[in-house]
Structure 1
Amino acid sequence: MDDSRSFDTYEAEPASPQLDDIMQKIAEHKGCGTSGGSGKASCGSGAGSGDMPQEIWDKVKNHPCYSEEAHHHYARMHVAVAPACNIQCNYCNRKYDCANESRPGVVSEKLSPEQAAKKVLAVASAIPQMTVLGIAGPGDPLANPGKTFKTFELISEAAPDIKLCLSTNGLALPDHVETIKKFNVDHVTITINMTDPDIGAEIYPWVFWKHKRVTGKEAAKILTDRQLQGLEMLTANGILCKVNSVMIPGVNDDHLVTVNREVKSRGAFLHNIMPLISSPEHGTVFGLNGQRGPSAQELKALQDSCEGEMNMMRHCRQCRADAVGLLGEDRSAEFTTDKIMEMEVNYDLSARQAYQEKVEEERQAKVAARNAELETLAGANADIKILVAVATKGSGRINEHFGHATEFQVYELSSSGAKFVGHRRVDLYCQGGYGEDDALETVIRAINDCHAVFVAKIGHCPKDDLIKAGIDPVDQYAYEFIEQSAISYFKDYLARVSSGEIAHVARGDADIRQGAFVAVDA
């Protein structure tokens, strides 16, 4: 393709009538629709293919990033084969030898395509529910096309059951759509933070375009044109696209509603609005200049305002570029290059499939339990909504001790059921066998907007402090399904409000600690 052509003059090849029909169905469902009472805005939380065309369901049903419901059960991994980047973002500072930060652009070690392929096989053998391999950096995959596509080639040959994904800033995307399609990469994420070059100039100092560095509004104009062009090309080829946007208060927060409409009109499947990570210790321009990130209520309000246009992803963990495991956990330290080279890898496809069949049985049992409990909410007070936090290790169950939780999942409870609306990363409360008062304060601030916290177990001291803070510590649903338990709790909450036993009181705002420093065991 001639790079000199502008976005306005680009014409994609016409899609087939069958593909047009599929993409129209996606548009009608506003992305990944849902059923069963969790609400359409919780991506993929429905029970099955009845929510969307079968072709789309087959792509998202076990993809933890494209399906909120799947992320409780299935794992992903990223391989760090793409160190170079072709743009600079004021919220990014790439680090190539960093084990103690959890945010995009950070890795412990860079890999060759051959090392990455062996790592994927090792992880897939040890974690049979790992279904997705993504390349997301630490730079931009399409600024490193040789390494990126060689990695995809090796993995598709050795492990054809694993879904392939890439995440890109979109600058080079139009040049590589055909190659993306060739390697059956059917999930692509594009980070689009603006469609207005005036706003873009505040986010991007420069882009590297046609062998030179371009700055200011000109750079932002080139970037947004290429991003939207690439998005249209991908959707015209039937490739599912998720758009990531970083919410930067005072810079693009109001504008992201426009971005949402623009990407929806071009066929994006899902929109993920993420909070700015701006801790000064990360060394980003925004962090060092004091640019704040959004509060929990600000982020939720923006996501809520956009969900009428298309479905919102709310379960993103803003992962490292070498993350391994379920969303919300990172097992990358178990699979360093040194350890992998000593492993005897036995990639058993039949064993993986058998394990995943058991996962699906558990998943369907969870959905059935939720739907049965939901029926008991018929006629409930539609004016009351509350948030609750949940300590979980995964599988959609309340199965984590309060003191061992490094994050809490947050659900909004209403007469429509339980809807996943986010998560809060926290400092570990139990350290060395003892509770840390300072850590407990950060936990309370992180879930301050929640009426209750569901845990498998909790000690007397943190329980008392939570009650003083107005947060109900709930441990009677230990190891039960989250949504079923949350609906049961909400039904009881409404009954107590109705009887006058308690008064429904709105909670305050909460802190977002995404991208906090975390300890990683070697």
Structure 2
Amino acid sequence: MKSEVKPLVNLNINPCKMCMPMGSATAFYGLKNCMTILHGSQGCATYIRRHMATHYNEPVDIASSSLTEQGTVYGGSENLKKGLKNLIELYHPEIIGVMTTCLAETIGEDVPGILQSFLEENPGYGDITLIPCHSPGYGGSQYEGYFAALSAIVSSIKMDAKKNNLVNVITAPLSPADTRYLKRMLSLFGIDAILLPDLSDNLDGAHDPRYNRLPHEGTELARLKQMGGARFTLELTAFHHKNSVGEYLSETYGVPYERLSLPAGLRDTDAFLNALSRISGNEIPEELKKERGRYIDAMIDSHKYHSAGRAAVFGEPDLVYSTVRMMCECGIMPVVCAAGSASPELDGLIRPEIEKLAGLYLVDEYKIADKADFKDIEDMVLAYKANILTGSSDGRRIAEDLHLPLVRRGFPIHDHVGGQRLKMLGYEGSVEYMDEIANQLIDTVETTFRETLYDTYYKGTAIDHKKQPESEEEIMKRKTKEHPCYNCQAHQFARIHLPVAPACNVQCGYCVRKFDCPNESRPGVTSSILSPEEALKRYLSVKEKMPNLTVVGIAGPGEALENWENVKKVFELIRKEDPKVTFCLSTNGLKLPQYARELKELGVSHVTVTMNAVDPHISGQMYQYIRFMGREYTGDAAGALMVANQLAGIRLLIASDILVKVNIVTVKGINDSHVPEVVKAVKSLGCFITNIMQMIPVKGSALEHVEPVSNKQLNEIRKQCEEIMPQMYHCQHCRADAVGTLTDDKSIQLKGFLSEEKPVFVPVPKSYRFAVASKSGVVVDTHFGHAKEFYLYDYRNGEVRFAEKRNVEQYCQGEEECGEKEDKIERIIAALNGCNGVIAMRIGMEPAKKLAKLGIKPVNTYDMIEDAVKKAAEAM
């Protein structure tokens, strides 16, 4: 059984995107004789070069200003100027794209100002066009960086506004092959277009024995300058960008523009060709009409295969949008649509498409998401049962883990060759894309149907000659099937709880373990404590009389992990005698991070964690105190520590392939409305089932007077949470020495090998907190009414320890002011919250009555503080 540790914090795991400079560098590579330089550390340029060179299989040069610690502190202008000068002398470019990075932006580098200063200092370089581009890695993804570069290009180049007959064509990120196909369509209409950018040859060039240091193809500077006088602009992206080139040229130079989706699939290619026909005044060429017909024929040929597809589409927003539109035309159901970049428009644009197809296929659930990482995508692929993936090769880990085919499109593609030659534009590119998806679906059926038939009808049957010993996963399934607490159908199987763990490290507000309760069935009570050897004898004795005994559990009466040596020895002894028995354990989770992996080594397969809240404040209200690593915690501090350790411990259990049940004790007015949040949290961690329990009021407990939630309310909470994850309805609130099935306890009848000593129960350690009125901090030397501060001391089992100091407002400030001061004394008493007693030189009658009424014992004395606390505690 494969498990993994799930994060408890908001973070990206394997992002489905790259940094802004990556996209900016790609856009600049579409310009002829253009060189780029990154103003930042050397590693940024190396990272981008490697990614681009591996995808495009072409040499990629990107310069760097190589900022160091000195440049970071004192400014990097000299580094950038020196880098520019070296670049110009080595490459002799016409255009230089100067991109910023996280480092340059964070220290506030004025790149445009540095470039202006550079030209003033070097007038001989005045014929070189310098284009500053703001592209911090944290400013967005490569998608935003790409459009930021296009905007920087058109806004930095001095335009010739003289009217001409050219058409500007601005594209979203495309492969070189798609760019070539786009140029072909434009030429068929006789349109003289300025393509921005033009990656068709620079990143997928013909073999040339001569090495060109600069991109020798792409859009020329002279053509770029004519964009301001063009007769029309076509912007090929489905999304509105703040760096829209079309809008800029329209507002600045009056060039009319239209925004269309990338010409992929039937409808969007039709719309694009109709726009070209309108702009050029020419009919759609017959050649393209035939391509359209072939595409429609291919759609018909493949529809029976496409209809089986449940696709997960991921990548840049335009890629996701166009792929989803194309799939919906062909009958492939996109169940997961995820963009790595932030794209708030994505959902509104593609949801109508998906809803229509989902209605035809009776598909109820699918997911559209932006800002997704590959962990999100993998979770969605599992949740929505995708059977094919489309996107970049960064999704190959998901494909490998889930045994799903991956159709590669977009950037980057590092594990296959030819990423620069993959197409999706036009009828021709669309049919290649859809054929590839159909063939992958066919291959999946052809290579798995025999295994599916075998697993469904033959595997594990009496005639299966290849039957193998139980796998770890099969063993876990069998043990869970036979565990009465994890399977409501397992009522015929018995369990035994061995009471070997008396000590506890928390004091729950609803728990008391001071005496034997032979006639009471609830957690935390037992008639005796067993040694590990006695526990073994008891198990063997019961097993002999009860052959349906399948589970050995340790559930107290205290905290199992606080009694680790006893617990460990019990499991080891029983494992030697019965290797197949199921071990389970109940814990409050405080020490789970310390022992989770050791539980796995001991063979524990099921663990129940009592977790009453995921909000530290609510959790803190459930405990009077907790003890951890030699210190005692109360309130929010206790709650925060409990929640953190419980969540971390559960994660480690899941990672160790241990099934986790979470018990939630529901206390009216404290956590009853918070329970669904707990269930959601443990569900996200991978827990198996939750058991929402009614608090049983116990006399002497802190919450003894709290009215339990009604059965009706409890079942309403369970029903609400049942929509999140499975719920346990058959809990019997078992004792720590329970034996038998859940409905037929035999602990009294099978009492053999219980200690004959007087019933032992877990003594709750004497623990008190006192507020001491003292000026010196050494001696009890202050009257209660004159105290401006109280020193709080904790007493536990003979030990006195200072806890904190609380400032208060004295209520008696002189004879004439010691009359009716009710508001002040109330504030003082409020400040003594959590104290069991107050020690002062003298406490007046009225304050003493008020204190006693609130359960705070007043103590008059003059003594050393530690001696006074000990005497007061002994008198409690």
Task: Please report the TM-score for the alignment, with normalisation by the length of structure 1.
Answer: 0.54
- Residues 188 and 240 in structure 1, CA contact (< 8 A), matched pair in contact too: yes
Taking the aligned partners of 1:308 and 1:324, their CA distance within structure 2 comes to 32
Q: Does 1:91 pair with 2:519?
A: no
Local SS of the residue matching 2:678: helix
TM-aligned CA deviation for residue 231 of structure 1:
0.4
Gaps of 5+ in 2: 1-6, 12-374, 385-459, 461-472, 757-876
Q: Does 1:114 pair with 2:529?
A: no
TM-aligned CA deviation for residue 130 of structure 1:
1.0
1:248-303: CA deviations, max 9, x gaps? 111101100000000000111000001110153xx32211xx10112111111000
Residue number among 738, 747, 758 corresponding to 1:323 in the alignment: 738
Instruction: State the aligned residue count.
Output: 298
Residue number among 190, 193, 203 corresponding to 2:622 in the alignment: 203
- Residues 95 and 138 in structure 1, CA contact (< 8 A), matched pair in contact too: no
Residue number among 703, 706, 723 corresponding to 1:291 in the alignment: 706
Residue number among 125, 130, 142 corresponding to 2:549 in the alignment: 130
- Between stretches 96-105 and 126-135, larger displacement belongs to 96-105
Q: Does 1:222 pair with 2:641?
A: yes
TM-aligned CA deviation for residue 334 of structure 1:
2.4
Q: Which residue of 1 aligns with 2:339?
A: none
Taking the aligned partners of 2:383 and 2:696, their CA distance within structure 1 comes to 33
Local SS of the residue matching 1:186: strand
Q: Which residue of 2 aligns with 1:263?
A: 682
1:286-328: CA deviations, max 9, x gaps? 11xx101121111110000001110001111111000001103
- Residues 95 and 105 in structure 1, CA contact (< 8 A), matched pair in contact too: no
- Residues 534 and 753 in structure 2, CA contact (< 8 A), matched pair in contact too: no
Amino acid across the alignment from 2:723: G
Taking the aligned partners of 1:75 and 1:317, their CA distance within structure 2 comes to 13
Q: Does 1:64 pair with 2:481?
A: no
- Cα distance change, pair 241–285 in 1 and its aligned pair in 2 (3 A): same
- Residues 96 and 110 in structure 1, CA contact (< 8 A), matched pair in contact too: no
TM-aligned CA deviation for residue 336 of structure 1:
2.7
Q: Which residue of 1 aligns with 2:657?
A: 238
Q: Which residue of 1 aligns with 2:22?
A: none
- Cα distance change, pair 339–219 in 1 and its aligned pair in 2 (3 A): closer
Local SS of the residue matching 1:317: coil
Q: Does 1:144 pair with 2:559?
A: no
TM-aligned CA deviation for residue 329 of structure 1:
2.7
- Residues 118 and 340 in structure 1, CA contact (< 8 A), matched pair in contact too: no
Taking the aligned partners of 2:714 and 2:383, their CA distance within structure 1 comes to 25
Local SS of the residue matching 2:654: helix
Residues 95-106 of structure 1 mapped to structure 2, 5 A cutoff: 95=514, 97-106=516-525
Residue number among 726, 749, 754 corresponding to 1:334 in the alignment: 749
Amino acid across the alignment from 1:271: T
1:211-259: CA deviations, max 9, x gaps? 0111110011000000000001110111100000011111101100000
Amino acid across the alignment from 2:608: T
Local SS of the residue matching 1:333: coil
Local SS of the residue matching 2:681: helix
Amino acid across the alignment from 1:109: S
Residue number among 676, 683, 692 corresponding to 1:273 in the alignment: 692
- Residues 512 and 698 in structure 2, CA contact (< 8 A), matched pair in contact too: no
Residue number among 571, 596, 599 corresponding to 1:177 in the alignment: 596
TM-aligned CA deviation for residue 339 of structure 1:
6.9
Local SS of the residue matching 2:748: helix
Q: Which residue of 1 aligns with 2:424?
A: none
Taking the aligned partners of 1:339 and 1:277, their CA distance within structure 2 comes to 27
In terms of fraction of residues, the more helix-rich structure is 2
Local SS of the residue matching 2:737: coil
- Residues 241 and 270 in structure 1, CA contact (< 8 A), matched pair in contact too: yes
1:81-110: CA deviations, max 9, x gaps? 000001110011124533121111000000
Taking the aligned partners of 2:383 and 2:489, their CA distance within structure 1 comes to 21
Q: Does 1:304 pair with 2:719?
A: yes
Local SS of the residue matching 1:108: coil
Taking the aligned partners of 2:749 and 2:666, their CA distance within structure 1 comes to 33
Taking the aligned partners of 2:727 and 2:480, their CA distance within structure 1 comes to 14
Taking the aligned partners of 2:379 and 2:487, their CA distance within structure 1 comes to 20
- Residues 166 and 189 in structure 1, CA contact (< 8 A), matched pair in contact too: yes
Local SS of the residue matching 1:334: coil
Taking the aligned partners of 2:604 and 2:496, their CA distance within structure 1 comes to 15
- Residues 121 and 159 in structure 1, CA contact (< 8 A), matched pair in contact too: no
Taking the aligned partners of 1:173 and 1:321, their CA distance within structure 2 comes to 20
Greater relative contact order, per chain length (Cα 8 Å cut-off, separation 6+): 1
Taking the aligned partners of 1:28 and 1:134, their CA distance within structure 2 comes to 33
Q: Which residue of 1 aligns with 2:579?
A: 160
TM-aligned CA deviation for residue 56 of structure 1:
4.6
Taking the aligned partners of 2:605 and 2:512, their CA distance within structure 1 comes to 28
Taking the aligned partners of 2:679 and 2:710, their CA distance within structure 1 comes to 20
- Cα distance change, pair 127–267 in 1 and its aligned pair in 2 (3 A): same
Matched-pair identity in %: 42
1:138-178: CA deviations, max 9, x gaps? 00100010000100000111112210000000000110012
Amino acid across the alignment from 1:161: K
Residue number among 649, 665, 673 corresponding to 1:254 in the alignment: 673
Q: Bigger radius of gyration, 1 or 2?
A: 2
- Residues 74 and 326 in structure 1, CA contact (< 8 A), matched pair in contact too: yes
- Cα distance change, pair 338–60 in 1 and its aligned pair in 2 (3 A): closer
- Residues 538 and 753 in structure 2, CA contact (< 8 A), matched pair in contact too: no
Taking the aligned partners of 2:549 and 2:530, their CA distance within structure 1 comes to 19
TM-aligned CA deviation for residue 55 of structure 1:
5.4
- Residues 242 and 268 in structure 1, CA contact (< 8 A), matched pair in contact too: yes
Residues 434-453 of structure 1 mapped to structure 2, 5 A cutoff: none
Local SS of the residue matching 2:693: strand
Taking the aligned partners of 1:150 and 1:239, their CA distance within structure 2 comes to 20
- Residues 88 and 207 in structure 1, CA contact (< 8 A), matched pair in contact too: yes
TM-aligned CA deviation for residue 337 of structure 1:
4.6
Q: Which residue of 1 aligns with 2:242?
A: none
Amino acid across the alignment from 1:58: R
Residue number among 631, 634, 647 corresponding to 1:212 in the alignment: 631
Amino acid across the alignment from 1:286: L
Local SS of the residue matching 1:272: strand
- Residues 244 and 274 in structure 1, CA contact (< 8 A), matched pair in contact too: yes
Taking the aligned partners of 2:543 and 2:692, their CA distance within structure 1 comes to 29
Taking the aligned partners of 2:501 and 2:602, their CA distance within structure 1 comes to 17
TM-aligned CA deviation for residue 330 of structure 1:
2.2
Local SS of the residue matching 1:100: coil
Taking the aligned partners of 2:729 and 2:383, their CA distance within structure 1 comes to 20
TM-aligned CA deviation for residue 179 of structure 1:
1.1
